[in-house]
Amino acid sequence: MHCEVFGLYPYPFDYFRPNTLEEALVLAQGDGMKFLAGGQSLVPLLNLHVAEIKGVVDLQHVASALKFVQSQQDRLRLGALWTHDELSHSSLLGGRCPLFSQAAAFIGHPRIRRRGTLGGSIAHADPLAEWILVMTLLDPQLILASAKEERQLPFHDYLLGPMMTALSDDELITAVEISLPEKATYGFTEVSRRPGDYALVATALSVGWDRDRIAQADIAISGVSDVPRTFPSISRDMCQEYPSHGLVEHIKHAVEAAVDPPSDVLAGASYRRHLAGILVEKALHQAFDEMSNAGETAAKSIGKSEGERT
């Protein structure tokens, strides 16, 4: 009685722990079945009786098959069962796309980072989740498998709204495939009310380089609209520019003018707008600093006035 009133325990459900991926996909075809990866979102929802299911397909024994990194020149394929912590500490990933460790550091607490997975976070699709922001920025192909077929879906067609996706009930996200520019640096930063909370506003950005000039840039921000959004025309303003304080100021003000955030109990619209501006500024400095630390010549360009922008 006590448990039912306060929702401390889930309603009863069947539990399956398959040993192969094929077996997991067949089990998932059953009515009301859910995959269980790290359990860091599903279990709280079940305990609070927000979700009611017939059974779970625990991926524990198939996790090792879905923890891989395939690195090609311009492409990276990541298995979906990597935990947040493993992504944060992978040296191969750190070398190819340090954005993953930058973002993972902001996810929840150590226990959550040790258990929660990339695929679980993408499937759960919380609009303030760090991986949802990173995926919005990088727009990877998601590799989805069911007992019937395997298909690829670009992330921009996958995320339909807050916690709404194009994933079918019996489909498993097995991997994400990311196209990476040959030479890029990244920035990721966020503000939350307390350490470990979901962000109020977060920014992820990438800067591709042609020697010491910006060849290409992308900016994504969460917490200013119902799902994270990108800023293609503002990002285009950075192309062919040298990194400079003037450029950072220009982008910061352009972002502040472009966002139209909601007010809610956690933060007002004007505060979210202000955060968007300063977080973009900080993330740009991270990306530019990373470039100068890599021994490139970007450093010498920092400090050019806006008038010197080409």
Residues that bind ligand FAD (CB under 6 A): 34-42, 44, 80, 107-108, 112, 115-117, 119-121, 123-124, 129-130, 172-173, 198
Least distance in Å: CB of 158 to ligand FAD? Answer: 11
Cβ proximity to ligand FAD: between 45 and 299 the closer is 45
Give the torsion through C-alpha atoms of 135, 136, 140, 143, to 10 deg: 70
Least distance in Å: CB of 231 to ligand FAD? Answer: 22
Those residues whose C-beta lies under 8 Å from the C-beta of residue 256, and which sit 6 or more positions away, are 273, 274, 276, 277
Nearest position to ligand FAD, beta carbon? 116
b/e map of 242-264 (b: 16 or more CB within 10 Å)? Answer: bbbbbbbebbbebbbebbebeee
Least distance in Å: CB of 214 to ligand FAD? Answer: 29
As a whole number of angstroms, the distance between CA 192 and CA 261 comes to 16
Cβ proximity to ligand FAD: between 18 and 120 the closer is 120
Least distance in Å: CB of 59 to ligand FAD? Answer: 7
Q: 3-state DSSP call for residue 165?
A: strand
b/e map of 24-55 (b: 16 or more CB within 10 Å)? Answer: bbebbeeeebbbbbbbbbbeeebeeeebebeb
As a whole number of angstroms, the distance between CA 273 and CA 50 comes to 32
Strand bridging mode 55-58 / 14-16: parallel
Least distance in Å: CB of 132 to ligand FAD? Answer: 7
Cβ proximity to ligand FAD: between 111 and 300 the closer is 111
8, 47 contact by CB (below 8 A) = yes
Cβ proximity to ligand FAD: between 201 and 238 the closer is 201
Least distance in Å: CB of 247 to ligand FAD? Answer: 30
Cβ proximity to ligand FAD: between 55 and 243 the closer is 55
Least distance in Å: CB of 222 to ligand FAD? Answer: 10
- Sign of CA pseudo-dihedral 204, 75, 226, 110: negative
Cβ proximity to ligand FAD: between 120 and 223 the closer is 120
Cβ proximity to ligand FAD: between 32 and 44 the closer is 44
180, 76 contact by CB (below 8 A) = yes
